[in-house]
Amino acid sequence: MLDGAVVLDVSSFQIVLANKAAADMFGFASPREAVGENPLSYIPEEDRDGVARLIALNLEGKATNPAELRVLTTDKKERWISATATKVDYEGRTAILSTLRDLTSEKAKDAALRAAEETPEN
């Protein structure tokens, strides 16, 4: 799958542009459905403050990229993504361009490998 990409308008804190890969990653039927959404709505509640801090740091030019984040799809399934963010100008407004890579399969394989290594041999 190609990397997802979204543009987040900072003043409204809404997605103003998304590609098909990002829409697919989050379970939207089309990129157009993602437009107008608040991306924090797709972050587990207990992780939202941390993600909001990462966004603020990015706007100050202090964020470390990429960040691994837990996200929720439209049907509330948990996924893991690697996200990078760059402050940009979009149609005369301050915005963030974020690229997203789905890490869910890799995380599941790593967890299975760790579990296998921790299982005592008979």
pLDDT tens digits for the chain (122 residues)? 589 999 999 999 999 999 999 999 999 999 999 999 999 999 999 999 999 898 888 888 887 789 999 999 999 999 999 999 999 999 999 999 999 999 998 877 777 777 878 877 65
Encoded amino acid at 42, one letter: Y
| pTM for this predicted structure | 0.84
CATH architecture of 4-118: 2-Layer Sandwich (3.30)
**How is the chain split into domains, by residue range?**
4-118
Question: Cβ–Cβ contacts within 10 Å for residue 51, how many?
Answer: 19
The pLDDT assigned to 122 comes to: 56
9 touches 36 (CB < 8 A): no
Please report the DSSP string for 60-101 in residue order.
Answer: TT---S-EEEEEE-TT--EEEEEEEEEEEEETTEEEEEEEEE
